[in-house]
Structure 1
Amino acid sequence: MIEIERKFLVQSSDYKVQAFKQTVIIQGFLNTHKERTVRVRLKGDKGFLTVKGQSTNDGVSRFEWEKEISKTDAESLLQLCEPGIISKVRFEVKVGQHIFEIDEFSGDNEGLVVAEIELSSENETFEKPDWLGDEVTGDIRYYNSQLSSYPYRQWS
């Protein structure tokens, strides 16, 4: 499956009152090779194993495969991950015909808030809410796999 996604910084906390869902996410990476990442995620009480391929030149599209696994298996696999476990709260907000996922990071990435929107095509238009800031699609610093090894708090 090809994932088409755009990322933005968030410039206010107004999304919180618009959110219809809020979920705690803990995730780690078994592999952060530039051509593929293998992620283990606890999302609420569910576990997931995800493989993502290398992004296209603009960073909008890439291969993604995801499989739900048990919470126990995810907890066990998190023990095998590379250093740099990521913790965040995900807020889901419906804007027009789309759902934005806003990740509010904690721990070593505290202070970073990123919104993502998945699209059905690279040139699909979508409504931009007032709280949406600068686009960071394709900037690898904002990839979770990079945030695990070079956290936001270390940026100058």
Structure 2
Amino acid sequence: MALEIERRFLVSGEAWRAHAGCAQPLRQGYLAASAEGVTVRLRIQDNNQAWLTLKAPAGVSGLVRHEFEYVIPVEDAEAMWKLAPHRLEKTRWLLDLPGGEWVVDCFAGTNAPLVLAEVELPQVDQSVVIPPWCGLEITGESLWSNAVLAQHPVQSWPLQERVRHGLA
């Protein structure tokens, strides 16, 4: 059974860019999402690769989730994109940092100017040095999940909430 072990953070500033590799434009469509945190997502990268992913909670911390991901034909993904009731777009940057697989996601459209960092870890108790440009840890907080952001984008939040998180 596939598990994803991941910590997530709000990003402040631009210092992360010194560690960034190539940009990967991504479109994500959510075909299903439950209140319990089960999602069915399609992801299209650069219009030439696509995946269908099912995620589900695997514990109470939000740190570990079941993840089943399958490559699918781009043509199928494009058809599913049109059917997806909730969508988002972002650019993902792979980072050259120790301690896990780090990425930064810069959201576009109605989720701009949100920037999140994620580190995927090989094990739950893996120690990791958190870079200074990582702000508030949001691991396990559903408000910040991509599935919720697709349904309730940042620009739909009350102004006071956006200001509180540095997004206005």
2:29 is matched by which residue type in structure 1?
G
Tell me, yes or no, if the aligned pair for 1:34 and 1:54 is still in contact at 8 Å.
no
Within a 5 Å distance, the mapping from 1:51-90 to structure 2 comes to 51-54=54-57, 56-82=59-85, 84-90=86-92
Give secondary structure in 2 for the equivalent of 1:8. strand
Equivalent residue in structure 1 for 2:151, among 143, 149, 152: 149
Bigger proportion of residues as helix: 2
Inter-partner Cα distance in structure 2 for 1:125 and 1:152: 31
Identical residues among aligned pairs (%): 32
Displacement of 1:55: 5.0
Inter-partner Cα distance in structure 2 for 1:126 and 1:58: 17
Give secondary structure in 1 for the equivalent of 2:83. coil
| Unpaired segments ≥5 residues, structure 2 | 159-168
| Unpaired segments ≥5 residues, structure 1 | none
Bigger proportion of residues as strand: 1
TM-score (norm 1): 0.94
Displacement of 1:100: 1.0
Q: How many residues of Structure 1 are paired with residues of Structure 2 in the alignment?
A: 155
Inter-partner Cα distance in structure 2 for 1:28 and 1:141: 17
Within a 5 Å distance, the mapping from 1:37-52 to structure 2 comes to 37-44=39-46, 45-52=48-55
- Corresponding position of 2:9: 8
Inter-partner Cα distance in structure 2 for 1:120 and 1:99: 9
Change (3 A) 1:97 1:21: farther
Show CA shifts across 1:22-68 (max 9, x none): 10000111101134210011012200000001252211011000001
- Corresponding position of 1:33: 34
Tell me, yes or no, if the aligned pair for 2:44 and 2:77 is still in contact at 8 Å.
yes
Displacement of 1:95: 1.1
TM-score (norm 2): 0.87
Change (3 A) 1:57 1:40: same
Inter-partner Cα distance in structure 2 for 1:26 and 1:52: 17
Inter-partner Cα distance in structure 1 for 2:59 and 2:139: 11
- Corresponding position of 2:126: 124
